[in-house]
Amino acid sequence: MVRLKQLWSSLMVLAVVVIGAGAVPITYLESAVAKGAVCLDGSAPAYHFDKGSGSGVNNWIVHMEGGGWCTDIATCVKRKTTMKGSSKFMNKDFGFSGILGGKQSTNPDFYNWNRIKVRYCDGSSFTGDIEAVDPTNKLFFRGARVWRAVIDDLMAKGMSNAQNAILSGCSAGALSAILHCDEFKSILPKTAKVKCVSDAGYFIHGKDISGGSYIESYYSKVAATHGSAKSLPASCTSSMKPELCFFPQYVVKTMQTPLFVINAAFDSWQIKNVLAPTSVDKRKEWKNCKLDLKKCTAAQLQIVQGYRDQMLAALAPVRATTTRGLFLDSCHAHCQGGSAATWSGAQGPQVGNTKMAKAVGDWFYERSTFQNVDCPTLNCNPTCPAVSTED
């Protein structure tokens, strides 16, 4: 019995070591506080940094964390006491996998790069910049400053010598990667190959089930609350309302830097929040359907199918040039590049008989172009995961 306990204890220690092996410690950017580059609650921004090695020592991937947005004082105050609004509540270690993975077997093109995950604590896709702080709520809307402070810090830590670099992200972080893409390229050395990757960040200016566009009014509130207008791409805001410049379909038209879009045609977040937001579903007819598409009626499934048509139309600027890449699967998913299983695993989704790790790697290194649109109906692709993938 004693021997069995000792064996069990040894196994537990081994398990902790194995689990912790891929964990990357947090870095708090305390120097940013003096510049006013802070989270919603005024705490220091943070990131996780796994240093590159060998042939990847001068290659960098900066990945922006996702986590939605806050649209007004009330929703931002709620975030302030969570890791999405304060670095005080963030986990101290983060396991890297998928596009950030450190194993050659699962991430062959980027495993030995300098890999950074930037934590998301501003609620504006790193676009906010308001100087004043209301003494009653003590909220800081400084997302754009946070982004720049992190990039400047990474430049000082060696990114100024970058030969290859990618700005990427998931969900709200992927949108941030699109919005900051050209700025990122302008900061990096002129000799560097710089590209951007959006995983589930192609939020479309779509029509909802009422025939309106709830998502437009939603982003209008984000832009107003955070003072985002001056931080959004000027190439877009010069001709459009600020809230429209949260939609990649309008930003990508004038983007100069190559972009790769990974997205599900039936994006699970967008089905819930763009197509059938709770506020326009007055009779709660979509309440169960949007959470589990198996519970949809035939008529609802037809509307879901129509969302793919809206998605394809919005992706026209991406498909307009082969310098841009596209991996559009027909899965019901959101953020698919964050795990080794979906990024490159045997069970991961494929489009054009290609896994996303290979598609992005081939596109970045220009071994081949990649623009593939999956079969047309929901889950027609047998490689889609059985359940929707969320960040």
Give the catalytic positions in this structure: 171, 267, 334
Report the length, in residues, of the chain: 391
CB–CB of 130/76 below 8 Å? no
Cα separations (Å) of 356 from 108, 113, 117, 192, 375? 12, 18, 19, 23, 16
* Antiparallel, parallel or unpaired: β 164-170 and 59-64: parallel
Backbone CA torsion sign across 280, 282, 287, 290:
negative
Q: CA-CA distance, 226 to 246, in Å (whole number)? A: 13
Q: Which amino acid is at 379?
A: N
- For residue 120 the two structure tokens come to 């998301």
Distance of CA 193 to the CA centre of its chain: 21
Q: CA neighbours within 13 Å on the CB side: how many for 318?
A: 28
Which among 174, 239, 168 is positioned nearest to 203, based on CA atoms?
174
Which among 288, 279, 308 is positioned nearest to 377, based on CA atoms?
308
Cα separations (Å) of 291 from 278, 306, 352? 12, 17, 28
CB–CB of 146/126 below 8 Å? yes
- For residue 34 the two structure tokens come to 């003096």
Q: CA neighbours within 13 Å on the CB side: how many for 92?
A: 1
Q: Which amino acid is at 49?
A: F
Which among 215, 331, 223 is positioned nearest to 272, based on CA atoms?
215
